[in-house]
Chains A and B, each alone.
Chain A
Amino acid sequence: MLQQDSNDDIEDVSLFDAEEETTSRPKKSKIRHPVASFFHLFFRVSAIIVYLLCELFSSSFIACMVTIILLLSCDFWAVKNVTGRLMVGLRWWNHIDEDGKSHWVFESRKASPQDSKTVSEAESRIFWLGLIACPVLWVIFAFSALFSFRVKWLAVVIMGVVLQGANLYGYIRCKVGSRKNLTSMATSYLGKQFLRQTTGDDQTS
């Protein structure tokens, strides 16, 4: 409904803009799951903030460590089970079959014609930004803890790297799995273009 209103406004202003809107598929740029987006970033960012500011918050190392562990666990569960599915339509898990063999399954939501199931740009950006930036920060913290000999923090930092890195790896595999068709399409398209160019050159020369 919002889409239609904006289209109406644009039609009143200029015909050219209205044409552009209708020819290209309108990408949703509003956030459809504000709570999920908030929590996706909240747990990760607060874990990092608590780690950086622990000396100011409380003199107790234990309280900081337990808080960070709690936040990292909540973040892991939330990102793996809720925000990934709602925001970008990807999910990954481990499945043990009848023979006791373990399989890792990476799935992505198939593109459906209805608009209600498309991924919104803003949410996708928030999701990937949060997913990639935080493990990188934890790796930086790991090196800094190692080289400045604050070894007692190493356990927490390594836990941060492992948990957030696992989510990052899982979702990248989901994404890469679904993009296989896209890359083959892109290469075949480029190949055709290249062929057209060379045959065109042959004709003109």
Chain B
Amino acid sequence: MAEAAESPGDPGTATPRPLMRDLKAVGKKFMHVLYPRKSNTLLRDWDLWGPLILCVTLALMLQRGSVDSEKDGGPQFAEVFVIVWFGAVTITLNSKLLGGNISFFQSLCVLGYCILPLTVAMLVCRLVLLAEPGPINFMVRLFVVIVMFAWSIVASTAFLADSQPPNRKALAVYPVFLFYFVISWMILTFTPQ
């Protein structure tokens, strides 16, 4: 279910699908998000492994408190998961209700992969937070988050906007804006205890 691009032909051969091919496909999609071009790769060969990896990484990095204590970041971990997946599903439903001709999983794929810039922003923020706190610290993090937020928006609209009729593009794009804004907000307001 999570991948496309199966080799057609006689199922009588029934050879197992090669793992390297799937890993390379995931890597290729990460590259496409980092350098967004007009291409169909994210849409045609969709898979949800990238979004899963990014979601888990983001949730792990957004932990407060130490990992071994009683009140470890359990609820926050589940919270990030729910926000990302529920948000992506809601945007997809919105896009489909507006008459977009993109399939459910393709849309989830694009939205999930475009979280990559924000995950990078989270990584940078965590590193910056190791330095001493202060207004400069905050300004640096703000700048990084804003840049990565813009990058996510540009990358996802490059893929999603084409699926909508021209007069509906703004209606389809603003929930994407909200979605990445919420994630950016979580990243910006994160403070480790």
Contact = CB atoms under 8 A, between A and B. Distances in A.
Contacts of B75: 152
Contact of A60 (B3, B12, B68, B102): B68
Contact of B16 (A82, A94, A109): A82
Contacts of B67: 60, 62-63
B186 interface: no
Interface string B30-53: 000000000000011110010010
A91 interface: yes
Q: Give the bracket for the number of chain B residues in contact with chain A.
A: 35 or more
A86 B14 contact: yes
Dominant secondary structure of chain B at its interface with chain A: loop
Contact of B74 (A61, A86, A94): A61
B56 A100 contact: no
Contact of B105 (A59, A73, A102): A102
Of the listed residues A36, A61, A112, the one surrounded by the most CB atoms of chain B closer than 10 A to its CB is: A61
A155 interface: yes
A96 B46 contact: yes
A190 interface: no
A66 B55 CA distance: 11
A32 B189 CA distance: 55
A170 B101 CA distance: 24
Contact of A59 (B8, B11, B68, B163): B68
Q: Give the bracket for the number of chain A residues in contact with chain B.
A: 35 or more
Contacts, number: 101
Given A81-B16, A152-B74, A155-B78, A102 B103 contact: yes
A131 interface: no
Contact of A95 (B4, B19, B81): B4
Interface string A109-122: 11010000100000
A92 B12 CA distance: 13
Interface in B41-84: 43-46, 49, 52, 56, 60, 63, 67-68, 70, 72-75, 77-78, 81-82
Nearest to B49: A73
B1 A62 contact: no
Contact of B72 (A60, A93, A112): A60
Interface of A: 36, 59-63, 65-66, 69, 73, 76-77, 80-82, 85-86, 89-96, 100-102, 105, 107-110, 112, 117, 152, 154-155, 166, 170
Interface of B: 1-4, 6, 8, 11-12, 14-17, 19, 22, 43-46, 49, 52, 56, 60, 63, 67-68, 70, 72-75, 77-78, 81-82, 101-103, 105-106, 163
23 contacts: A36-B16, A59-B70, A60-B68, A62-B63, A81-B3, A81-B22, A82-B17, A85-B14, A85-B16, A89-B14, A91-B6, A94-B1, A94-B4, A94-B46, A96-B4, A96-B45, A96-B106, A102-B106, A107-B11, A109-B11, A110-B12, A117-B12, A154-B78
